[in-house]
Amino acid sequence: MKIAVIGAGLTGLKCAMELKEFAKIKVFEKLSVGGLLSSFCNGYCIEKFYHHAFKSDTELIKLIGKFGLKSKLVWKTVKVGIAKNGKIYSLSTPLEILKYPYMSLIDKLKLAIFTIKSRKRDFEKFDEFNAIESIRNELGSSLLENFFMPMLKAKFGENASDVSFAWLLARVAIRSNRKLRGEEIGYLRHGFHQLLEKMCEDIEIINKDAKIKLEGKWTVNGEDFDAIVFTAPLPELGDLKDKLGIPEIRYQSSICALISLKKSISDIYWLNVEGASFGAIIEHTNFMPFEDYGEHLVYLASYTMPDSEFFRASDSELEKLFLKDLEKFGVKRGDLNWIKIFRAKFSSPIYEKGFLKKITPYRVANGFYIAGMTSRPNYPERSMNGSLLAGKEVAEILRKDFGLI
Ligand SMILES: Cc1cc2nc3c(=O)[nH]c(=O)nc-3n(C[C@H](O)[C@H](O)[C@H](O)COP(=O)(O)OP(=O)(O)OC[C@H]3O[C@@H](n4cnc5c(N)ncnc54)[C@H](O)[C@@H]3O)c2cc1C
C-alpha cells in the first residue's frame, strides 16, 4: 500500500512515523521540514518562531523520551509582563499583580473568580458568542481594556474582535492551572530541531510542492497513491477544498523578527506590548542560558492577515519599523548584532464564532484524510502537542480503514 503525506510539519512527520511499518510512505514538503517548528541555524540552531512546551503536553514529552532526549528537556518558571505607556510591569507573582496600577482591586478579584470558574464552564456552549462583547457584559469595560484586549491583540492582532467566547474560556481554563510563582514552561535545550531530526529517520521526504488530483485514483504530482493524508493549512487544498465540502476557515499570518542584541531588554521572558508594530517581545535568553548562544536572542512577534500590507512589506521595511519601536525599550541601532524576519502565511486558524462546528474530521473522503491545525486536538490552541496527537489519531483511523493492524 502507498500513502502520500502532504506536509513535513509535526503532524505529517508523526503520521508518517506511525504508518511507516505498515505501508510505503512518501512525505511531500514544499518549504522547510518541521514547518512552523523549523529552525534557523547560525553556529547554533534556534526556531524561526518562538516555541516552548507545557507540562500538560504529554504526547510531546513522551516522544522526547522515546528518542532519548529527556535529559535535554528543561523546565523553568519564567517572568511575564506587560509594557504600557512606556513602562514595563512584571506580572509574574500575585504581589506584582496586586501592585499593577492599571487594574482596580475589585477587577483583580473579579478576574481571579472568573479564572477559577472558567475551569468548570462548558465552553462549547459559547461558540456563537463574541469574546469581547461577552467579557464586557460579564466583567465590565475596564477589565476588558486593561487585561483581555492586550492578550487578544497579542494573539490575534487585527482579528481580536472576531474571536469566540468559547475560545477565550477554554484558553483561560487551560492556561490558569499554574503555581503561585507562575507557570513552568519547557524547552529542548539547544533546540527542537533535535526532535525533528529523530522524527525524520527512515522517512522518505520529497522536497516538492504537492499537487493533488483525483483521477479515478488519488495522485500527487502525477503519481498514484492508495491514500493521502493532508497536513498542510487548508487554503493549500485550492479547488479541492470546495469539492471535498470543507467549510471556510480563516487563518492569520505570523511575522517574527529574531534579533541578536548586545544587551538584554529586561529580565522578562514574555512581555505583551501595547502600541507597537509587534504584540510581544519574547526574550529567549531569559529562558535558556545566554552561554548556549553567546548573544541575547529576542523575538518580536506579531500576527496579521495574509493579504495585509504589513504581511507584504519587505524585510527592510519591517526591520526599520521594528527597530524604531524597539527604541521605546531603550534599544539603539548600535545594540543590534543582526535581525532576521520570518513569516508564516497560514500560521493559525482564527478561532472565531462558530469555529467548533468547523473542526475538520480526519476522514473527509474515501482515501483522503486531513489532520493538523484545524483538527480537534489543536483546540483551543494549536500546539506542538496538538499536532502530534492529530498525526497519531489520523494514522490510527487510516490503519483501521485499510486493515493495517
Ligand atoms: C509564532 C508561532 C509560535 C508558536 N509557538 C508555539 C509554542 O510555544 N508551543 C507550541 O506548542 N506550539 C507553538 N506554535 C504552534 C506549532 O508550531 C504548530 O502547532 C505546529 O508546529 C504545527 O504543525 P503542523 O504539522 O500541524 O503544521 P505546519 O507546521 O504548518 O506544517 C505543514 C507543512 O505543510 C507544508 N506544505 C504546505 N503546502 C504544501 C504543499 N502544497 N505541498 C507540500 N507541503 C506543503 C508546509 O510548508 C509545512 O511545512 C507556534 C506557532 C507559531 C506560528
Q: Is residue 396 part of a domain?
A: yes
User: Is residue 7 located within the same domain as residue 154?
Assistant: no
Whether 114 lines ligand 1, by a CB cut-off of 6 Å, is no
pLDDT tens for each residue of 270-311: 999 988 999 999 999 999 999 999 999 999 999 999 999 999
Instruction: Give the pLDDT of residue 97.
Output: 87
Instruction: Pick from 28, 30, 36 the residue to mutate for probing ligand 1's pocket: most ligand atoms within 8 Å of its CB.
Output: 36
d(CA 403, CA 396) in angstroms, rounded, equals: 10
Beta bridge pairs of residue 89? 82
Instruction: Give the pLDDT of residue 177.
Output: 63
pLDDT tens for each residue of 1-20: 999 999 999 999 999 999 99
SS3 87: strand
User: Is residue 98 located within the same domain as residue 173?
Assistant: yes
Instruction: Determine the distance separating the centroid of ligand 1 and the alpha carbon of 387, expressed in angstroms.
Output: 8
Residue entry with cell 534557523: 40
Last residue of some domain: 155, 181, 207?
A: 181
User: Is residue 199 located within the same domain as residue 240?
Assistant: yes
Nearest CA to ligand 1 atom 19: 383
Whether 238 lines ligand 1, by a CB cut-off of 6 Å, is no
HEC assignment per residue over 130-166: EHHHHHHHHHCHHHHHHHHHHHHHHHHHHHHHHEEHH
Last residue of some domain: 153, 181, 209?
A: 181
d(CA 14, CA 62) in angstroms, rounded, equals: 12
| Three cell numbers, residue 229 | 493524508
Instruction: Determine the distance separating the centroid of ligand 1 and the alpha carbon of 391, expressed in angstroms.
Output: 12
Pairing state of beta strands 2-6 and 227-230? parallel
pLDDT tens for each residue of 207-265: 999 999 998 899 999 999 999 999 999 999 999 999 999 999 999 999 999 999 999 99
Instruction: Determine the distance separating the centroid of ligand 1 and the alpha carbon of 184, expressed in angstroms.
Output: 23
Q: Is residue 269 part of a domain?
A: no
CATH code, domain carrying 166:
1.10.3110
Say whether pLDDT at 159 is over 70. Answer: yes
Instruction: Determine the distance separating the centroid of ligand 1 and the alpha carbon of 370, expressed in angstroms.
Output: 14
pLDDT tens for each residue of 94-139: 889 889 999 999 999 999 999 999 989 999 999 999 999 999 999 9
Q: Answer positive or negative: Cα dihedral of 55, 56, 60, 62.
A: positive
Instruction: Give the pLDDT of residue 171.
Output: 87
User: Is residue 105 located within the same domain as residue 169?
Assistant: yes
User: Is residue 136 located within the same domain as residue 197?
Assistant: no
pTM, two decimal places: 0.95
User: Is residue 106 located within the same domain as residue 236?
Assistant: no
Please give the radius of gyration of the chain, using alpha carbons only, rounded to the nearest integer.
Answer: 22
User: Is residue 242 located within the same domain as residue 376?
Assistant: yes
The secondary structure of the chain in percent helix, strand, coil, rounded to multiples of 5, reads: 40, 25, 35
d(CA 127, CA 373) in angstroms, rounded, equals: 18
Q: What strands lie across the sheet with 212-215, from one edge to the other?
A: 212-215, 217-220, 223-225
Q: Is residue 383 part of a domain?
A: yes
In terms of residue numbers, what domain contains 173?
Answer: 93-181
- For 165-204, the DSSP string reads HHHHHHHHHHH---BTTB-EEEEETT-THHHHHHHHTT-E
CATH code, domain carrying 224:
3.50.50.60
Nearest CA to ligand 1 atom 2: 49
Q: Is residue 299 part of a domain?
A: no
Cis bond before residue 380 (omega within 30° of 0): yes
User: Is residue 115 located within the same domain as residue 174?
Assistant: yes
Q: Is residue 307 part of a domain?
A: no
Last residue of some domain: 156, 181, 206?
A: 181
User: Is residue 109 located within the same domain as residue 153?
Assistant: yes
Instruction: Determine the distance separating the centroid of ligand 1 and the alpha carbon of 377, expressed in angstroms.
Output: 14
How many independent structural domains does the chain possess?
Answer: 2
User: Span 306-330, mean pLDDT?
Assistant: 96
User: Is residue 170 located within the same domain as residue 215?
Assistant: no
User: Is residue 170 located within the same domain as residue 220?
Assistant: no
d(CA 186, CA 174) in angstroms, rounded, equals: 16
Whether 373 lines ligand 1, by a CB cut-off of 6 Å, is yes
User: Is residue 173 located within the same domain as residue 24?
Assistant: no
Instruction: Give the pLDDT of residue 176.
Output: 73
